[in-house]
Amino acid sequence: MKTAIVHDPEPVLLVGGGQKRKTGLKAVSGLYRRIVAADSGADWLMAHGHEPDMVIGDLDSISPEALRRLGPTRAHRVAEQDSTDFVKCLTRIDAPLVLGVGFLGGRLDHELAALHALAASPERRCVLVGGEDIVFLAPPVMRLDLAAGARVSVFPLGPVRAQSSGLRWPLKGVAFDPLSQIGTSNEALGAVELSVDAPKMLVILPRSELRAVVTELLQSAAVWPPQRAL
């Protein structure tokens, strides 16, 4: 596990360089205390009136002006080239939850890399917030108070079995695998309970369900141990 740079007992907002950041920032309002920027995310934040508490990355995209304004105490360069700026940040934030804005949409390879990172660092709870959807790695068990009719999709990043209640089409121990069985476009009947046997299942919900997810992830004691998931 990487040594943490940012420590906070409350959720942390992480802002990247992708799309729908204004929408995402509005959605997470009131849910975090500190702000971390992934490299050039700092320029966008400061241009929109927000001061990042820390910038983490290889710092090859942030402007010289932003670096001067932040100073050495708020800019942490991670030189490794075998990880994305999102991974550099996620693995160095010690918080009960990270809310990621600016990592969905835009370049598909960046988006896929962010989804991979959720499973590769399952001990770091993180919800990525996009223009329409949110996505997070399913914990071992969870209960979500969702609106009846809410779209619920699950997408495996590897072999994983799941059980559910409260879905229109129950999972009933389905053996999921990205090459044979996925679970898009299910529907909540109300409160949904979901359990999975491995840290390899993404849950995708409408952005309107963000606060229900945050409440559950902060309250639940069911966490994955550190491991290389993929």
Asked if the structure places residue 114 within a domain, the reply is yes
Residues paired with 76 in a beta bridge: 56
126 and 13 in a common domain: yes
Which residues share a beta bridge with 54? 36
Residue 103 lies in a domain: yes
Q: With respect to residue 100, please indicate whether it lies within any of the assigned structural domains.
A: yes
Q: What is the spatial distance between Cα 2 and Cα 97, in angstroms, rounded to a whole number?
A: 17
Query: CB count, 10 Å around CB of 124?
Result: 25
Q: How far apart are CA 219 and CA 13, in angstroms?
A: 18
Q: Which of 131, 150, 181 finishes a domain?
A: 131
pLDDT (mean) for 121-137: 96
The structure tokens listed for 141 are 């068990």
What pLDDT digit, counting tens, does each position of 3-31 carry? 899 999 999 999 998 888 999 999 999 99
Q: Is the pLDDT of residue 230 over 80?
A: no
Which domain covers residue 108, as residue numbers?
A: 7-131
Structural domain includes residue 74? yes
* Type and span of the H or E element at 12: strand 12-15
Point out the domain boundary residue: 78, 108, 131.
131
Please count the other Cβ atoms lying within 10 Å of the Cβ belonging to residue 79: 7
Residue 228 domain flag:
no
Residue 39's region, left for phi above 0, alpha for psi from -120 to 50, else beta, is left
8 A C-beta contact, residue 87 and residue 118: no
Give, in order, the Cα–Cα distances in Å from 218 to each of 32, 67, 144: 12, 33, 12
Q: What is the pTM of this model?
A: 0.94
pLDDT one-digit tens code per residue, 66-118: 999 999 999 999 988 789 999 999 999 999 999 999 999 878 999 999 999 99
Residue 42 DSSP code? H
Residues 6, 218: Cα–Cα separation, whole Å:
18
CATH of the domain at 178: 3.40.50.10240
* pLDDT at position 229 over 60: no
- Domain boundary pick from 109, 131, 153: 131
Please tell me whether residues 115 and 210 are part of one structural domain.
Answer: no
